[in-house]
Amino acid sequence: MISIEAHPLLLPPALMSIYEDAKITYTTGNHEEALNINERLHEAAIRTECVLGQIVSKRFIGLCQYRLSRLQASQASLNAALALAKEHGELEQQILGLPANLWAA
Provide CB contacts within 8 A for 1, sequence distance 6+: none
Task: Please check whether residue 8 lies inside any domain of the structure.
Answer: no
Here the CATH number for the domain that contains residue 73 is: 1.25.40.10
User: Could you read off the pLDDT of 48-85 as tens digits, one per residue?
Assistant: 999 999 999 999 999 999 999 999 999 999 989 988 98
Task: In whole angstroms, give the CA distance from residue 92 to residue 49.
Answer: 19
Pairwise CA distance, residues 98 & 92, whole Å: 10
Q: What is the mean pLDDT of residues 76-103?
A: 73
Residue 87 identity (one-letter amino acid): E
Q: Could you tell me if 58 and 84 are in contact, meaning their C-beta atoms sit under 8 angstroms apart?
A: yes
Confidence (pLDDT) at 98:
53
Provide the domain count of the chain.
1
Name which residue leads in pLDDT, 94 or 37: 37
Is residue 37 in some structural domain? yes
pLDDT at site 85: 86
pTM score: 0.82
